Structure formats: C-alpha cells, structure tokens
C-alpha cells in the first residue's frame, strides 16, 4: 500500500512540474531599490514553464499607476542571446516613471537569465518568417502585460507598450489587440533581420519584412508612433519609412518620425540616456496624443 501511495505521489508531483510555473512563482523577487523603486520580478512569458525575469520601476505611492511595458531588442545569435544582461532601459523607464507610469521590462524566453526556448525565431535569412516571429514576440509581451494588469497598484486599462527593434516588431503585431487595454504603442526602429551577415544597412529578405508590416497593419486597432534615428544602420530611415508606409497601407494608424542622430549607432537610442533625450519630444507627443484621444472618447460618451 505504501508503495502505491509513493508511486501516486511521485506521479502527481511529476504532473504538477510538467504543467509549468504556478501562480505562486510570479511576483516580486527582491526588495525595492532606492532609485525609481527598481525591483526584480518574475512574470509569465510565452512559455508556461518559463517565468520571465523582469525589472519593475514605479513612482512613489500606492497608485494605481498606468502601466508601460518595454519590449527589448533581440538577436538570432544563440551565444549573444544567452549572454544578454538583464535589460532595464533605465533612462526610458525614468522618463515614464516621471510621468506617472509603472514600468515593466521583461526579458523574454531564450534570452539571458530567463533562459528557455527561443520562441520568436525568424528562421533563415532567405526564408525568414517575420510575421510568425512578430506574433510570437507579441504574445510574450502580452503575457506579462496581462499579469501586471491584475496587480493592485496598476490600472487595468490604457497601458502603453514601447518596443525596441525586434521588441518593436512584436509591438506592431500587438497593435491588433484591444485599444481599451493598450492605448498606444511606441516603436523604436521596429524590424527583424537587420545587419544581415553582420553588415550595416543590409536586411534579410526586405520584401518579406515589408509584406509582414502590411499584414500587421491590416488588423491594427491601436495607434502606433514609429521612431528611428537618422544614423540607424539596422533599419535605415529610408527602409523604416517604407515599412511604416506598408503598415499604414495595410490599414494601421501610424505617425512616423526620423529623429536626429544618436551616438555612434542610432539603433540603440532607446537604451541610452542621451538617446532618450533625443527622443523626448517625440515620446511626449505620443503620450500627449494618447491623453487627448482618451479625453475625446470620454467627452463623446457624455449625454
């Protein structure tokens, strides 16, 4: 009898482990810091068995605060992904916290400390599936966002998603979501396949990238602000403009801005204090436009 009880217990534990991370896995994973209340969190990812390591920043007080989720860049290189440090986008987070946002920066599966499978693989250069990769990234962003919307210090509506590079590409795919839950999307140089063969201004299968941008726009419901630095060599202003036009041609609402050069490589402007300073005007414009849209909708509902 004891033997069968032991076997049953072992099987039950195996099933529980196989079912992935439990709800108790998620939440704060460390104490708050003194700067921006920085805190390590674990949040759901696109893989139920892999909690995403994340940084959370908050204003003072109990909230509830509007939520901003920052989606980081990526790479097809396995070693670079494994060695990726925890992204925090601290200057961008500070900009948002100063405007009343709680800011989550989750590290997606297949990267750094989060580990697990790389769910957003685009495939080889010539046969890259950019649409599939974008939708996979979008689901990973959405998983953390859905969890944070249940937290008592977070407003459940009107979140803002800010994506960078591959994270921005996923944010474009996420623009097909509910505009009540996500009020605005800001994308820094969104795209995939840049620096093909480690060469500046070369992109894998750009025609496929353009087609995927148009497809994302076709079902888009959330307005997008598209930002690119004048000296971006991953997705040049010229290519970025064509991508934004394809997205708009598919039906997406987009405002496109070419910003002044930032540092030695403009693609990384979202990660640096100097880059965020360059982008500050466009960011403020995007957030103010969101406030104006919300006020207009509320006024329209009044009898």
Residue 2 lies in a domain: no
Would you tell me how many other CB atoms lie within 10 Å of the CB of residue 34? 6
Percent over 90 (pLDDT), the chain: 85
Task: State yes or no: pLDDT of 11 exceeds 50.
Answer: no
Q: Is residue 160 part of a domain?
A: yes
pLDDT, tens digit, for every residue of 221-277? 999 999 999 999 999 999 999 999 999 999 999 999 999 999 999 999 999 999 999
DSSP per-residue codes, 150-191: TSTTB-SS-EEEEEETHHHHHHHHHTTS-TTTEEEEEEES--
Answer whether residue 298 shows pLDDT above 90: no
Helix (H, G, I), strand (E, B) or coil at 113: coil
Closest CA to 185 of 127, 116, 138: 138
Q: Give the residue, 28 or 3, on which the prediction is more confident.
A: 28
35 falls within a domain: yes
Domain count, the chain: 1
Residue 170 inside a domain? The answer is yes
* Residue 80 lies in domain: 30-297
Q: Is residue 25 part of a domain?
A: no
Asked if residue 1 is part of any domain, the answer here is no
Is residue 220 pLDDT above 90, yes or no?
yes
Average pLDDT over residues 13-27: 57
Average pLDDT of the segment spanning 35-47: 97
Q: Residue 236 belongs to a domain with what CATH number?
A: 3.40.50.1820
- What tens digit of pLDDT does each residue of 128-140 get? 999 999 999 999 9
Contact 97, 153 (CB under 8 A): no
Query: In DSSP terms, which residues pair with 187 in a beta bridge?
Result: 163, 226
Is pTM beyond 0.85? Reply is: yes
Residue 15 lies in a domain: no
> Is position 272 within any domain?
yes
User: Is the predicted pLDDT of residue 9 greater than 80, yes or no?
Assistant: no
Contact criterion met (CB below 8 Å) for 125 and 62:
no
């Amino acid at each position: 009898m004891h033997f069968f009880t032991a076997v049953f217990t072992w099987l039950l534990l195996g099933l529980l482990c196989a079912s992935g991370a439990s709800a108790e896995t998620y939440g704060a994973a460390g104490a708050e810091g003194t700067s921006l209340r920085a805190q390590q969190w674990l949040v759901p990812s696109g893989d139920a068995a892999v909690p995403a390591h994340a940084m959370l920043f908050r204003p003072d007080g109990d909230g509830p605060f509007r939520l901003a989720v920052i989606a980081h860049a990526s790479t097809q290189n396995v070693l670079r992904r494994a060695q990726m440090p925890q992204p925090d986008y601290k200057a961008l987070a500070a900009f948002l916290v100063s405007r009343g946002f709680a800011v989550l920066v989750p590290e997606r599966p297949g990267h750094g400390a989060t580990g697990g499978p790389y769910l957003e693989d685009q495939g080889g250069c010539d046969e890259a599936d950019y649409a599939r990769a974008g939708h996979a990234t979008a689901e990973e962003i959405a998983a953390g966002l859905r969890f944070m919307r249940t937290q008592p210090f977070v407003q459940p509506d009107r979140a803002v998603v800010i994506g960078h590079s591959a994270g921005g590409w996923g944010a474009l795919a996420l623009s097909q979501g509910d505009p009540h839950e996500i009020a605005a999307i800001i994308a820094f140089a969104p795209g995939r396949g840049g620096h093909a063969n480690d060469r500046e201004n070369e992109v894998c299968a750009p025609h496929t990238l353009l087609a995927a941008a148009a497809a994302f726009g076709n079902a888009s419901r959330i307005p997008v602000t598209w930002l690119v630095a004048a000296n971006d060599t991953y997705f040049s202003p010229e290519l970025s403009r064509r991508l934004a036009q394809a997205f708009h041609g598919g039906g997406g609402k987009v405002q496109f801005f070419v910003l002044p050069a930032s540092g030695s490589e403009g693609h990384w402007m979202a990660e640096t204090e100097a880059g965020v300073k360059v982008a500050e005007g466009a960011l403020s414009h995007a957030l103010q436009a969101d406030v104006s849209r919300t006020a207009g909708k509320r006024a329209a509902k009044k009898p």
